[in-house]
């Protein structure tokens, strides 16, 4: 009987490679990336070429495969352990790790920061190994994290979607038979502390996107991509929503009219790592400008909510986003 497609078969792992391109075979990952029910999507991105020869016939005579541009979407959860911090480091470029937080000797803080001269796609890469529904394992080698989308709402964990671009895919020699699963539960909606300009606020939704805008079409004497270089400005945009419109929302609207912004901090804290500090993912936007499209408060008879779109900008001494992770791992 043929293999039936089952969602539970779709698992993935990642490994960071210290060279680009990576000499095959890729490094086998050891940790499981816990995927959401959407599973994993890998696109080959092959270009099929049909030369239009003139042979006294309206038919095509030849076809060949041109360039390959593989990509993958990884829908996962907000976990402060394992592969999620690694993906965040590859997204922004660097992480300062192994900062033990006294007095807890087994608790570590990782500061993940934007690096302008990002090494991923030039001298580093990620190897993705994925087991799909048929049981077949594939490698996507020399990968970069092009963008990340985060989504927060009541009655759900923190949802993250990572979008990867790679140089090549191949059938894998790995089996993914033994991977270490995350120990801690994903961070969830009720574990969020959200501040606007240093003042704690209650919100009903938060979503934002970090986009590296890599150039994805650099080919040279090969059907595989040469490198991944920045092809445009890095973009950090999003929105947060108040459950109803009040003077706070109108105050932010006035700030938008005046051209002033604020610092936004979204901090998710789980259970204690040891005695004093909790498993944490914190997203900090040091300098945002609001981007209202409509005057708040419309919506007819229903009680209107208060969405606040924003754009994150660089300051003289801080980039547009900073991510801090606290966990029990010495490195990410």
In this prediction, residue 4 carries a pLDDT of 41
Residues whose CB is less than 8 angstroms from the CB of residue 199 and which lie 6 or more positions away in sequence, other chains included: none
Mean pLDDT of the chain: 87
In this prediction, residue 77 carries a pLDDT of 94
pLDDT tens per residue across span 127-184: 999 988 778 899 999 999 999 999 999 989 999 999 999 999 999 999 998 899 888 9
pLDDT tens per residue across span 170-204: 999 999 988 998 889 999 999 999 988 888 888 88
Q: How far apart are CA 114 and CA 150, in angstroms?
A: 17
Kindly tell me the burial class for residue 276, based on how many C-beta atoms sit within 10 Å of its own C-beta (0-12, 13-18, 19 or more): exposed
Q: How far apart are CA 44 and CA 261, in angstroms?
A: 42
Confidence of residue 6 (pLDDT cuts 50, 70, 90): very low
pLDDT at 5 over 50: no
Structure-token pair, residue 292: 């209202």
Collapse the DSSP code of 309 into the 3-class scheme (helix H, G, I; strand E, B; otherwise coil) and give the result: strand
Q: Percent of the chain having pLDDT more than 90?
A: 55
Domain ranges of the chain: 7-48+64-327
252 or 16, greater pLDDT: 16
Per DSSP, the residues of 72-104 read: EEEEEE--SSTHHHHHHHHHHEEEEEEEEETTE
Least confident interval from 48-52, 240-244, 255-259: 255-259
Chain length of the chain: 332
């Amino acid at each position: 009987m043929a293999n039936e497609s089952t969602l539970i078969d779709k698992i993935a792992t990642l490994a960071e490679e210290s060279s680009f391109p990576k000499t095959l075979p890729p490094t086998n990952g050891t940790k499981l990336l816990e995927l959401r029910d959407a599973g994993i999507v890998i696109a080959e991105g092959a270009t099929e070429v049909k030369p239009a020869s003139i042979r006294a016939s309206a038919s095509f005579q030849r076809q060949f495969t041109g360039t390959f541009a593989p990509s993958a979407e990884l829908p996962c959860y907000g976990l402060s352990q394992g592969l999620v911090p690694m993906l965040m480091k590859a997204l922004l470029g660097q992480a300062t790790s192994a900062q033990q937080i006294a007095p807890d000797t087994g608790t570590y803080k990782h500061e993940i920061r934007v690096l302008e001269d990002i090494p991923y796609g030039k001298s580093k890469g990620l190897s993705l190994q994925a087991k799909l529904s048929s049981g077949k394992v594939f490698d996507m080698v020399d990968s970069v994290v092009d963008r990340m989308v985060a989504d927060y709402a009541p009655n759900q964990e923190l949802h993250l979607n990572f979008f990867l671009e790679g140089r090549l895919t191949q059938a894998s020699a790995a089996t993914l038979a033994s991977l270490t699963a995350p120990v801690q539960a994903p961070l969830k909606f009720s574990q969020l502390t959200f501040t606007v300009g240093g003042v704690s606020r209650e919100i009903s939704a938060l979503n934002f996107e970090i986009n590296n805008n890599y150039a994805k079409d650099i080919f040279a004497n090969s059907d595989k991509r040469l490198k991944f270089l920045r092809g445009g400005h890095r973009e950090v945009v999003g929105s947060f929503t108040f459950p109803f419109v009040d003077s706070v929302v109108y105050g932010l609207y006035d700030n938008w009219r005046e051209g002033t912004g604020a610092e936004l901090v979204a901090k998710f804290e789980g259970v204690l790592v040891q005695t004093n500090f909790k498993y944490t993912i914190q997203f900090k936007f040091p300098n945002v400008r609001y981007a209202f499209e409509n005057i708040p408060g419309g919506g007819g008879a229903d009680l209107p909510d208060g969405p606040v779109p924003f754009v994150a900008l660089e300051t003289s001494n801080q980039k547009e986003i900073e991510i801090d992770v606290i966990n029990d791992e010495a490195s990410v």
